[in-house]
Structure formats: C-alpha cells, structure tokens
A and B are shown apart, each in its own frame.
Chain A
Amino acid sequence: MSEQGPNVILRTSPHLRVSPPVHVIMRNVVWALLPVCAFSIYQFGISVLGLIVTCVASCILTEHVICRLSGRDSAVKDWSAVITGILLALCLPPGFPYWMAAVAGFVGIGVGKMFFGGLGFNVMNPALVGRAFAQASFTVPITTWVPSMVPDRFTQFIPSSITLPFLKPNSVTEWLGQVAPDGFTGATPLAVMKFDHVQSIPTMDLFVGTSAGSAGETSALLILLCGLYLVFRKMMDWRITASILLTAGGISGILYMVNPAVYPDPLFTLCTGGLMLGAVFMATDMVASPVTPLGVWIYGALIGTITVVIRFWGGLNEGVMYAILLGNAFSPLIAMITQPRIYGARKAKGAA
C-alpha cells in the first residue's frame, strides 16, 4: 500500500439505504395502473387508448416545458407525470374530446403541481385538479357517457373523441343510434340511482365492471387487485383506502337500513362511480395525504363521508373528486393536529 491514503469516500451515516428510489415507486404505480388501462381499452376501444396517450403526453410535455422555463432539470424522469396522465384519462368519460383532455392535463400539471414547485410540493392531486377544471369548463362532454362493448370499438373512434381543437364536440346521438339501437339512456348507474332511486345494473356487474362510466373506473375488482400489488410492494398506504371504503360503506349501510327505498345498498355505493379508483389510486397520492398514522385514518374518513354526502344530498351524482380535493386541502391541518406522541414524552404541564 502506498504511504498516501487511499482514495476514500467520506460520507455521513447511515451508510446504508434500502428503499426503492422515488422513480421506481412511481414506475410501479404506472405498472399497477396498466391492467386498469387495458381493461378500459378492451371495454371502450381505441378511443380510450387515444385518450390515455393524449393525457400522458400532455402531462409530460407540460412538466418538461415548465421545468425548462423555470431553469431546472426536467423532472419527467421521476414518472410522476405519467401517473397523473393515466389517472386523468381514467377518470374522464371514454368519448371525451382529445383537445379538452390535453387542456385538462396542462391545467392539472401546470396549476395543480408546477405552480407549487413540482413533485412533493403540490397541495392537491394534479390529476383531480385537471378533472375539476374539465368539470367546470366542459360541462356537457364530461357528462356524456357512452355504452361499453360496442362491436366495432377497436376500429372506430367515438365521434366526439376526435373533435378539432377549440370546437364543440361532435354529436354522438347519431352514432349511439347505430351502436345501441335498443336504446342507451346515457346515464351512469349512479345517476339512475340518484334521480330514479332504481338500481339499473346488478352489483356483481358493477364489481366486475361492465357498465357505463368514466374510462377506468368501471371495474372495482380490477382496481382492487392492482392496488393489492402496490400494497404488497409497500408502495401504497392501504389504511387510506380502507378508511375511505369503510366510512363510505358504513354510512351508506346505515342509511340503507333506515330507508332502503331511497338509499342504495353499501356494496352499490362502493362499486359505482370513481370511488374505488379514487380510494385506491388518487386519495393515496403520498404527497397530498397526511404523514401521521392517525392522520391517514381521519383523512380517509373525511373523504368517504364527503363522497357519500355529495352523492346522496348534493347536486351532483358523483362526489369522489371533490371529496378527495377537499381531503387534500385538509391534509396539512390533519397532519398538524395528529402529531404522534413521541417516545418518553412528558405529561403536559399541569397534568403531572
């Protein structure tokens, strides 16, 4: 050995780290979302494929350009924009015009994420910010539903999808007449339930997912399975999902027992609309949820409650989106008031 010291590395402890880095976690969330995407494409055809591609491209491009404009390295390599894009696409109606989806992606990433400083600093889930923007701006297309399993769905786009930018969406009435001659009401099971108090589709079908609805929210079963993968890889906080589902199911169960004529049974509540997608993939967004152990249960309960309240007594038939956005807004407060009791904490003065 030479007299001179070796070329040693000086670092501070701990010298070991194990966790998969952020981009690996994000990439795994994308893997977990792919089966949901595939099922959605199988159900609604190439229109949804186009929708997913549009949203993802819009999100990545927005993030990249804003990073460059603000003089930073592009952050797209962390895969988080891809998740936002996929989630946004999955919570839009299958026939949603592409240009509107692109605008929603731009707003979601731009306003919902980059304005706050990018990954880790966003207050709310960017995909839902984009969805909320679309809900407020494009009221008709976002409530225009199409039937699933249309025969020529793999060869033909839904007419409204390929609307030229900044134009009113093409009408789907004529197309609907062709593909569903026996009459398609254009309403989701939730809407039917809300306004007519009738369950239009058996709960089992809702669970497996063969009904009308947003692109990726129809199969509760598949979403749960994909979520389980993430829980197994320890990349998702199952407590949030559990808390939301328990609260939403619990409240609706109580109401169902009180008046089964008006309120749906709890399983219907859990399997319809965006609740499952929201509870598994959106509310669990790490950045916008509290970090404290008690906090995540409160956060989930808040989302579950608001969802049911909006669904049963609000003006809309679906409330998951606003429930999660509100939950996100409350999460710093929840985290603040639920700081864990530290080891060896002394009793509060006066109590001792």
Chain B
Amino acid sequence: MSGLAKLLDPAHWFRSTFSHGIHPAENKHFTANKPIRRLPFPPELVLPLSQHAGAPSQLIVHPGQEVVRGEPIAKAGGFVSVPLHAPATGMIKGVELMPTARGPKTPCVILKVYPGDSQEVRFYQERDVDKMTPQEIMQAVQDSGLVGLGGAAFPTHVKLSPPKDHKVHTVLINGCECEPFLTTDHRVMIEMAEYLIRGTQIFMKALGAKKAIIGTEDNKLDAVEALQAKLPADGSITVKAVKTKYPQGAEKMLAKALTGLEIPSGNFPSSVGLAVFNVSSTAEIGELLPLSRGVIERVVTITGPGIEHPGNYMVPIGTPLRFILNQLGFSGQARHLIMGGPMMGGTVSSLDVPVTKGCGGILVLTEEDTKDQISRATYPCISCAKCVEACPMHLNPSQLGKLAYKHRYDEMSGDYHLMDCFECGCCSFVCPSNIPLVQYFRIAKSSLREKAMREKAKAS
C-alpha cells in the first residue's frame, strides 16, 4: 500500500503499533507475489555445527558414513542447543573449518549429496501430537532441531520451558517481517497457513496458554485473509494486522502493539505472560512434529537488484551461497551481499558461506545501489535528535554515541541503558551525520562483556 493510500484508509488509522520507529522503503515488490519454489541440491552441503545461539551440536556420524535425508547427524550439546539433521541423502565427507555468515571459520560437516537419489524424506515416524504432554512436546521440539527462524536462531524449545514462576497466558506469533526486501514470512503465512495454525496450537498446548494472536503488518493483508480462512472455530487464535513500521518485528515491539504489555528490561517475555514465536518456526513445528522430523530446509527470500531471478525459495540447509547465486543469475556486478535484511543482516566475505537455519534472506545489491550509501561523509553529532525520535526502546543514541566515542562504556550501560539496545539500526538509519552508532554500541557491548568475563575469572 502506498503512503497516500494508507493515509486515506480509516482502517489503518486504528491499527495498533509501538511508539517511535522508522519507515524504510519496503522494496518487497520484487518477491512478495512469487510462490515458494524449490532450488536443486548442490553437489556438496556445508553444515556448521553451531547454527544457533548456545552450545554447538555434537557430531554423531563419522566421515565416510552414508546418511539418508532427515537423519540426525549431530546431537544437542546441552540444554541450550539443538541436534542437526541431514538435509540430503549422501555421504559425510568430513568436518572442516569453513567460513560462515557469523564471521570466523567454524567446524562444518561437509555432506556430499548423491545426485542420483530421489531425495525423499525416509526418516520419519508419525505420532499423535494431541496425546503428548507439554514436557514431551518440548523434548520433541528440541529433537526437531528448530531454532528461531526469524534470524536470532535461539533454540525454540528453551522458550517452551519458561521459569517456574512465569505463567504464559498468550502466545504471540510474529509475522511482521519488518525488514525491507524480505518476504519469507509473508509467503509462509499464505502458503503454509494450515501448518502455521497447527504449530500455534502445539505451542499453546506446550505452554498451557489459552490464547494466541498472530500479528502481521498491514502491508500483508492478503496473508491475514489466508490465515483467517483457516482459523479454528473456537476463537482461541486471532489474526491482527498492525501498522507497517520498522522494527515492528522485534518481539518487544510486537508485544506492545498486540497486547499493550511491555516486556521489562532484561527479562523474558514470559515474565509478563507472553511467548513470541516467528511464523516460519511455527509453521515448521506444525509440519514436522506430527512426523517426528527435523529441520532440513527453510524458505529464503533471495532478492535485490543484483540478481536476475529474485524469489522465495525452499533451500536445503547448508547450500553454499555460490551455488544459489549461480542458479539464480548472479550478474557478477554485485559487490554487496547481505545475509538477512538490509537493516540487521550481515555482509558476507565469501561465497562459500552456507545458508543456515537462521537465514531468512539473501540480498544482493549492485554497486549502483550502494554508491550513495558508501560515499557519505561523516560529520560530528549535531544533536538533531532524529535518533532519539527513532529509537523504539526510547534510548538516547545521540548521547550514547558521544560517550562511545570517548570510550566511556561503563557510563553508557549504567546511566544510558546501553544493554537494552537490540541493534535494530534505526538510529544509524536516520543519522544525518552518518555516525556508525550501532557499530559503536556493538563494540561497547562486547567490550563490557569481555570486561565482565575477566572480572569473573579473576574472582573465581
């Protein structure tokens, strides 16, 4: 919907939202109407053992072993960890250090795909989820290897076991997808509505919640329609459109917009009775859990002006970027490759980087698109307060930036709530002085974390 049409639409005025935030150009038209299609299997898959927040998975196969599609190849390395399943039938070649989207090289399982195989999922077992206890569901979710597919890659089952004194009353399903360009969640809501509802019910059961709200931005009203047609008759699940604004998809912003509740600083959503799951994760659960399967592929929006055939593709986990780009007509002129969206995604340094569970988008920009962004001069902060108006957490990025410049990190976290920043990028986005505020904050945070660790080590 264009800006003017929105202003004239009374339904839009009354949609809820959060305060502050920004309106970047949506750029979703490249892929919003493209149905999910499959990409072929690459000759080799690269599977990092650490694709999630928490401890890395532990390998349970040996080099030379043959695996079938869907078979576990690594087990969880602790509670905050998940297993890994073979995304294709083939042979384990070994474990090598490979570059990943996270930066440093990490141990990755190399799986040689058998080209002649039919690649059917033969490794599954049907079960009746309705007869499972919440505890069993939680274990089943961990066994499926599911992590937050929205980008954070936090193991989903951990959210299903909130602290004992927290009682979850409402499950929020996050279909906002506020990042420009990305349409993964949009397509999942339209094409996998049934799985999504099923997954929502499973989460509600596991948490003992009576209510669930699926929240999406009002630039995806077709998804709202698709979901409404599939809602259960008992009215326990509702769909709500909220205003299109970045970062509506952050769980704290979504909680505010859908329920009016604020998640207290430094606390889990469960402390106010909420649990937030991404729509892609929820749809995966709805599809996988009744069959006891694991996560072996995901929907990825591959888009941007630097690519010939943008679209939403079902990509096997571990597919290297190089293979994807070759399949989809990479112009070669592109110099800016982003994994994730343009606001929070990271640039990749190598085309050997694989698609992991947390990767919802690949954005390819050409030199033309980035020229204006890179050649900008940096000025001192002129205290224009645009960042203060944009920060969804109501922090004072201007002051934080000035303190970061002087390395006064303790003051930043003590007096100006640095640790509440979740690096959405609104402040840098609006800064006329082009100050790399978010990067300053990342450095400050990691420096404080290191200091805390040093002190802990000294004390023990």
Q: Which one of B120-128, B234-242, B278-286, B387-395 is at the A interface?
A: B387-395
List, in ascending order, chain A residues with CB within 8 A of B382's CB: 22, 119-120, 286-287
Please state if A19 and B420 are interface contacts (CB–CB under 8 Å).
no
User: CB-CB contacts of B403-446 with A at 8 A, as 1s and 0s?
Assistant: 00000000000001100100101001111111010110010000
Contact of B342 among A13, A22, A121, A293 (CB under 8 A): A13
In the bound assembly, the distance between CA atoms of A121 and B380 in angstroms comes to: 8
In the bound assembly, the distance between CA atoms of A292 and B416 in angstroms comes to: 13
Contact of A6 among B335, B344, B365, B429 (CB under 8 A): B335
Q: How far is the CB of A9 from chain B (nearest CB, A)?
A: 5
Please state if A12 and B436 are interface contacts (CB–CB under 8 Å).
yes
In the bound assembly, the distance between CA atoms of A120 and B430 in angstroms comes to: 17
List, in ascending order, chain A residues with CB within 8 A of B344's CB: 13-14
A349 touches B (CB below 8 Å): no
Contact of A291 among B326, B337, B373, B388 (CB under 8 A): B388
Known pairs A16-B342, A346-B264; A78 contacts B379 (CB<8 A): yes
List the B residue with the shortest CB-CB distance to A291: B385
| Interface residue ranges, B against A (CB under 8 Å) | 24-25, 180, 252, 256, 262-267, 322, 325-326, 330, 332, 334-338, 340, 342-351, 365, 370, 373-374, 376-377, 379-386, 388-389, 392-396, 398-399, 416-417, 420, 423, 425, 428-434, 436, 438-439, 442
In the bound assembly, the distance between CA atoms of A1 and B337 in angstroms comes to: 15
Q: How far is the CB of A84 from chain B (nearest CB, A)?
A: 13
List, in ascending order, chain B residues with CB within 8 A of A20's CB: 432
Known pairs A6-B335, A15-B338; A292 contacts B343 (CB<8 A): no
List, in ascending order, chain B residues with CB within 8 A of A78's CB: 379
List, in ascending order, chain A residues with CB within 8 A of B180's CB: 16
List the A residue with the shortest CB-CB distance to B99: A5
A10 touches B (CB below 8 Å): yes
List, in ascending order, chain B residues with CB within 8 A of A22's CB: 379, 382, 432-433
Please state if B343 and A13 are interface contacts (CB–CB under 8 Å).
yes
List, in ascending order, chain B residues with CB within 8 A of A296's CB: 385
Please state if A9 and B379 are interface contacts (CB–CB under 8 Å).
no
Please state if A21 and B262 are interface contacts (CB–CB under 8 Å).
no
Main secondary structure of the interface of A (DSSP, over half): loop
Q: How far is the CB of A328 from chain B (nearest CB, A)?
A: 11
In the bound assembly, the distance between CA atoms of A23 and B434 in angstroms comes to: 11
A344 touches B (CB below 8 Å): yes
List, in ascending order, chain A residues with CB within 8 A of B388's CB: 291-293, 340
Please state if A15 and B432 are interface contacts (CB–CB under 8 Å).
no
List, in ascending order, chain A residues with CB within 8 A of B256's CB: 343
List, in ascending order, chain A residues with CB within 8 A of B434's CB: 17, 21
Q: How far is the CB of A61 from chain B (nearest CB, A)?
A: 21
In the bound assembly, the distance between CA atoms of A180 and B128 in angstroms comes to: 101
Please state if B332 and A8 are interface contacts (CB–CB under 8 Å).
no
Please state if A13 and B385 are interface contacts (CB–CB under 8 Å).
no
Please state if A13 and B346 are interface contacts (CB–CB under 8 Å).
yes
List the A residue with the shortest CB-CB distance to B398: A291
A36 touches B (CB below 8 Å): no
Which residues A266-306 have CB closer than 8 A to chain B?
286-293, 296
Known pairs A6-B351, A343-B252, A343-B392; A17 contacts B428 (CB<8 A): yes
Please state if A8 and B346 are interface contacts (CB–CB under 8 Å).
no
Contact of A344 among B264, B322, B334, B438 (CB under 8 A): B264
Please state if B376 and A119 are interface contacts (CB–CB under 8 Å).
no
Known pairs A13-B438, A21-B376, A25-B432; A5 contacts B351 (CB<8 A): yes
Please state if B380 and A19 are interface contacts (CB–CB under 8 Å).
no
Main secondary structure of the interface of B (DSSP, over half): loop
A10-B347, A78-B379, A291-B383 known; 16 new pairs, CB 8 Å cut-off, are A5-B349, A5-B351, A6-B332, A8-B335, A8-B347, A13-B438, A14-B342, A18-B430, A21-B379, A120-B380, A286-B384, A291-B396, A292-B385, A296-B385, A340-B396, A344-B264
The 7 A-B residue pairs whose C-beta atoms are closest, nearest first, are: A120-B380, A14-B425, A291-B385, A19-B432, A22-B379, A286-B384, A15-B342
In the bound assembly, the distance between CA atoms of A288 and B383 in angstroms comes to: 8
A185 touches B (CB below 8 Å): no
| Interface residue ranges, A against B (CB under 8 Å) | 1, 5-25, 78, 117-121, 237, 286-293, 296, 335, 339-346
Contact of A13 among B393, B394, B425 (CB under 8 A): B425
List, in ascending order, chain B residues with CB within 8 A of A14's CB: 342-344, 425, 428-429, 438
Please state if A9 and B336 are interface contacts (CB–CB under 8 Å).
yes
Q: How far is the CB of A106 from chain B (nearest CB, A)?
A: 22
In the bound assembly, the distance between CA atoms of A289 and B376 in angstroms comes to: 25
In the bound assembly, the distance between CA atoms of A221 and B399 in angstroms comes to: 36
Contact of A18 among B24, B326, B395 (CB under 8 A): B24
List, in ascending order, chain A residues with CB within 8 A of B438's CB: 12-14
In the bound assembly, the distance between CA atoms of A8 and B322 in angstroms comes to: 13
List, in ascending order, chain A residues with CB within 8 A of B423's CB: 13
Please state if A16 and B335 are interface contacts (CB–CB under 8 Å).
no
Known pairs A15-B338, A17-B373, A119-B382; A291 contacts B399 (CB<8 A): yes
Which residue, of A14, A119, A341, has the highest number of chain B Cβ atoms within 10 A? Answer: A14
Q: How far is the CB of B326 from chain A (nearest CB, A)?
A: 7
List the B residue with the shortest CB-CB distance to A331: B383
In the bound assembly, the distance between CA atoms of A293 and B395 in angstroms comes to: 12
List the A residue with the shortest CB-CB distance to B253: A343
Q: How far is the CB of B61 from chain A (nearest CB, A)?
A: 29
List, in ascending order, chain A residues with CB within 8 A of B330's CB: 1
List, in ascending order, chain B residues with CB within 8 A of A6's CB: 332, 334-335, 351
List the B residue with the shortest CB-CB distance to A236: B384
Q: How far is the CB of B49 from chain A (nearest CB, A)?
A: 23
Contact of B343 among A9, A16, A121, A341 (CB under 8 A): A16
List, in ascending order, chain A residues with CB within 8 A of B377's CB: 21, 23
List the B residue with the shortest CB-CB distance to A75: B379
List the B residue with the shortest CB-CB distance to A335: B399
Q: How far is the CB of B268 from chain A (nearest CB, A)?
A: 12
Please state if A12 and B442 are interface contacts (CB–CB under 8 Å).
yes
Known pairs A13-B342, A16-B343; A344 contacts B265 (CB<8 A): yes
List the A residue with the shortest CB-CB distance to B27: A16
List, in ascending order, chain B residues with CB within 8 A of A237's CB: 385
In the bound assembly, the distance between CA atoms of A342 and B263 in angstroms comes to: 11
In the bound assembly, the distance between CA atoms of A352 and B347 in angstroms comes to: 44
Q: How far is the CB of B371 from chain A (nearest CB, A)?
A: 10
Please state if A19 and B346 are interface contacts (CB–CB under 8 Å).
no
Please state if A341 and B394 are interface contacts (CB–CB under 8 Å).
yes
The contact sample of 11 A-B pairs, CB cut-off 8 A, is: A5-B351, A12-B347, A12-B436, A15-B338, A15-B365, A19-B429, A120-B383, A291-B399, A339-B416, A340-B388, A343-B394
Please state if A9 and B374 are interface contacts (CB–CB under 8 Å).
yes
